[in-house]
Structure 1
Amino acid sequence: MADITSLILDDHDWFRRQFALMDDLTDAGDLAKVWQPLADLLDVHARAEEEIFYPHLLRRGDDAEEETLDAIGDHNDIRDGVHEAALHPVGSSDWLAAVHKARMANSEHMAEEEDEGLADFRRNADPGLREELGRKFTEFKQVHEGARDLDVSDIDPQEYVDEIEAEIGERPADGSLGIGSLKEQD
């Protein structure tokens, strides 16, 4: 079984190839055949990272909070482009603009994630954990293939990080410093 960082990189390579393939297409039917699986995997991939990868990066990474905030914001931008494209006829100028929006957001996200989040995780997570998360990542993608049963709505990045950090005990959910009342410390 491959580790999660390798699986994420594999998806990134596939995304790049599919967007490049679309550059050579003009027929709406051909564009749809490439775009729909790409759009679906963009949604599933983002949610799989949010469910499996980023909670563990927050537990182990050196600069994980900033990396995660940025990544969740990027996921929202990608989703916005994907969902906007769904509102327009395939191949139309509005559709092309929305696909371009998703592509640009995805390209930026992949570069940052590869240079920052994935590298950070490889430095700080043992190979056994990376393989376990790789298995979970693969299973998640298989279960949610096509993204039809998956909530692919935007996520507030700060709320996401706050919830994960509260779960792992780094920051209380109420936003306090978690040191208790100073009045009780006579």
Structure 2
Amino acid sequence: MDITDHILFQHHEQRRMFAILDDLRGEDPELVGAVWKRLANLLEVHAAAEEMYFYPRLLHIGTGAADADSVAEETEDAVKDHNEIRDAVAAAARHDVGTAPWWDAVIDARVANDDHMAEEERQDLADFRAHADLQTRHEIAVQFLTFKAQHYQGVQYPDQDPQEYVDRNS
């Protein structure tokens, strides 16, 4: 197992589920809400697991990749992105499923998530693959997958101050 492969797999799953929501626009809100709940849980658990297991290790071995100035800059940006995704998911929860404000919040989550995934794939995952040995990549994948299995119904993980997160985990 390799954490970078698993993160890429989850990114594919997230993209697919947003596409399913596109196809369900105008359908029964109960159906749309069920798909959204699964996706919202996936987004929240994914971000929490990355912040608990992946990014602390990246901060210790990474150097910055692609267009990132440093590993600290990569990580700060990722945590900021996670906050935006969590905030959009929370905004969706304040509206009735299928209403215009609900769809606006879902779209905000999608835009934030799409931007995050592209940057993470270009910077963070490339940086980690360049500097982490296979055993480290395996160990983090096991931690990540265990956390995901334990929290399949979602997790309440608060927004983090990006700079404080980097300082605390460096």
TM over 0.5: yes
5+ long unaligned stretches in structure 2: 65-70
Within 1, Cα distance between the matches of 2:32 and 2:111?
A: 18
Within 2, Cα distance between the matches of 1:93 and 1:151?
A: 25
Deviation track 1:107-131 (CA, whole Å, cap 9, x = no partner) reads 0000000010000000000011101
Q: Which has the higher contact order (CA 8 A, sep 6+)?
A: 2
Structure-2 residue corresponding to 1:19 = 18
Within 2, Cα distance between the matches of 1:67 and 1:130?
A: 18
Within 2, Cα distance between the matches of 1:111 and 1:31?
A: 26
TM-score by length of 1: 0.85
Deviation track 1:40-74 (CA, whole Å, cap 9, x = no partner) reads 11000000000000000000001211100000000
Structure-2 residue corresponding to 1:170 = none
The Cα shift of 1:15 comes to 0.2
Residue 10 of structure 2 aligns to a residue whose secondary structure is: helix
Deviation track 1:88-115 (CA, whole Å, cap 9, x = no partner) reads 0000011000000000000000000001
Q: What RMSD in Å do the two structures reach over aligned CA positions?
A: 0.8
* Matching residue's letter, 2:83: N
Structure whose alpha-carbon radius of gyration is higher:
1
Aligned ranges 1:41-60 → 2 under 5 Å: 41-60=42-61
Within 2, Cα distance between the matches of 1:68 and 1:37?
A: 26
Within 1, Cα distance between the matches of 2:97 and 2:156?
A: 23
Structure-2 residue corresponding to 1:68 = 75
* Matching residue's letter, 1:158: Q
* Matching residue's letter, 2:121: E
Structure-1 residue corresponding to 2:161 = 156
The Cα shift of 1:35 comes to 0.4
Spell out structure 1 runs of 4+ moving beyond 2 A. none
Structure-2 residue corresponding to 1:84 = 91
Within 1, Cα distance between the matches of 2:126 and 2:107?
A: 27
Identity %: 51
TM-score by length of 2: 0.93
The Cα shift of 1:144 comes to 1.4
Aligned ranges 1:31-42 → 2 under 5 Å: 31-42=32-43
5+ long unaligned stretches in structure 1: 166-186
